[in-house]
Copies of this chain bind each other. A is one copy, B any other.
């Protein structure tokens, strides 16, 4: 039976699903935000974006709401969307939460480790080291994300994985410039992490991951201190409110 053969074989690469327009708009706007073309605090008029991207307002609206859900833009009812203005305090909190989630994931991954999973991790680690040797920063960052995502997957907790994915995406906003400085050291820590996971040593894996993420966190904070000496400590909690009327 030709039919059952097809049904039995295919499926994995969920073939040919035309990507909804709202998601392409989402990606486009996200890139514009990360690139800095749309600057923090800037008001995003739907009509304007619609004309700019050559689509109607509807997909724009939906994309903006997706972006709002992930914290990239702030939605003020009746006033529209504004590019989220990340504060030093928020970045710190984000990195702290990431550390927490990743640590737990490493612990769980060590507990549920499989040969196949460890092999995938080692493969990614090799690729990452190669990228660093070749001075390919973007590649290294990408592989780094994949590796952390894989650890998440191996944790076996899908909910944890989803949450961490959200957080990681936001973290990558600040992460790229830091990656250069971390360089090799980061990947040596990865190797140690994988060893711990392979041995099923949950506590050690968690500890390594915690140190690993805290390293990047502190590196980020120190970098920030150099660049913006005016606000070295995340103390001021200035809520940026865009329209005047919402002010008080």
Contacts and interface: CB of A to CB of B under 8 A. Distances in A.
Interface stretch (A29-37, A116-124, A158-166): A158-166
B62 A160 contact: no
A179 to B, nearest CB: 21
A135 to B, nearest CB: 33
Interface residues of A, number: 32
Given A17-B78, A18-B78, A62-B65, 9 more contacts: A11-B248, A20-B77, A20-B78, A62-B62, A65-B65, A66-B69, A93-B159, A96-B160, A97-B160
A61 interface: yes
A100 B104 contact: yes
A90 interface: yes
Contacts of A101: 100
B158 A90 contact: yes
Contact of A157 (B11, B96, B158, B162): B96
Nearest to A19: B77
Contacts of A11: 248
A71 B18 CA distance: 23
Interface string A7-38: 10001000001111000000000000000000
A77 B157 contact: no
A97 B61 contact: no
Contacts of A18: 77-78
Nearest to A10: B248
Interface in A43-61: 58, 61
Contacts of A90: 158-159
B158 A93 contact: yes
A94 interface: yes
